Structure 1
């Protein structure tokens, strides 16, 4: 099941997991283990096994590719990339907003990230070239981290 809802977005429900890209589910579980709150019963990290780092890496790369292929890249694509970059560098998941703020504080990509943060509350379209360049940058940063981890 894939159910998405939130302020300013149309509710989405799909009960056929075979028609959804696999990366959404694994990244949701990875983030949910850290961020989820139990209303009743065990905590999320007790309910879901931790995905392997290799799976998380593969799914982050798949997500970036999906956003490029299903463009134009919008604020969600940019802020998802920010969230993934933050996780890659800090092992901490957070909201899209948290990811955007972290990238603004730690990287020299203020234009596209600042525009994406503003576009969350407007209909502003992002420059396709800047958006694609940013996703390429994030992918290279994540791949560079993986190579560094493998060498250590």
Structure 2
């Protein structure tokens, strides 16, 4: 984590505490920051807030007003922030269960979602439980107790179902056909590697690290190598081969679901 992100996170926590007071019991860096894989210019800043009780509408709106990019500029591509009640974070539920979701940044479409029911089903409802599982393993505490004491994993059956839902969602996205490079195909491949490693080995890794682990076993090493190189500016794989890889991963995980 670079100094700009570290300073930004400190300001974000201070502003959240100003709005929520003693109801804010924890704040955690998730995603690439938590996994030690933050890449300037490419990564988002992912943050989870944990609150003691439900957040009222005025407090939700105040959080959005004070944390959106126009009020607190994000040094990364954008901020993805989710607030959870403490009992939800500890429950292991596969449901979204959030109090507030905020996406904001210079190059990120703005989104403020105040209730889980308002989250469009087409955008996926699996993200949150998977993110909480990653937080349990690798969340970086900015405020409050260690993440492992706050967040719970879903059950093995629920986790498998969430991974299947995530891969199915990715496969449903429009993907360029043909032999040419497909922008975004690298993330599709490496995201599937991360799901596969979690399913097989029970550990969450950053996307590139997961890709290296799968490739080291001799599986699709050339494809994965090109996906990793694309994150450093090389051409991404083509859409057809990325989708074929995702289907193979989905078939393996879904076979025991």
TM tier relative to shorter chain = 0.7 to 0.9
Runs of 4+ in 1 over 3 A off after TM superposition: 3-6
- d(CA) in 1 for partners of 2:78 and 2:247? 29
CA deviations 1:30-80 (Å, max 9, x no partner) are 111111122332111221222122221111111111211114252111111
TM superposition score normalised by structure 2: 0.51
Q: Is the 8 A contact 1:4 1:11 kept in 2?
A: no
Once the two structures are superposed, the pairs formed by residues 3-152 of structure 1 within 5 Å of their partners are 7-9=40-42, 10-11=77-78, 13=103, 14-16=111-113, 17=116, 18-19=119-120, 20-72=123-175, 74-122=185-233, 124-144=235-255, 146=256
Q: Is the 8 A contact 2:193 2:211 kept in 1?
A: yes
Shift of 1:103: 0.6
Structure 2: stretches of 5+ with no match in the other structure: 1-29, 33-38, 43-76, 80-102, 104-110, 176-183
Q: Is the 8 A contact 1:78 1:134 kept in 2?
A: yes
**How many aligned residue pairs are there?**
144
The structure where strand makes up a greater share of residues is 2
CA deviations 1:71-91 (Å, max 9, x no partner) are 425211111110110111110
TM superposition score normalised by structure 1: 0.83
- d(CA) in 1 for partners of 2:158 and 2:186? 25
- d(CA) in 1 for partners of 2:31 and 2:155? 25
Structure 1: stretches of 5+ with no match in the other structure: 148-152
Q: Is the 8 A contact 2:192 2:249 kept in 1?
A: yes
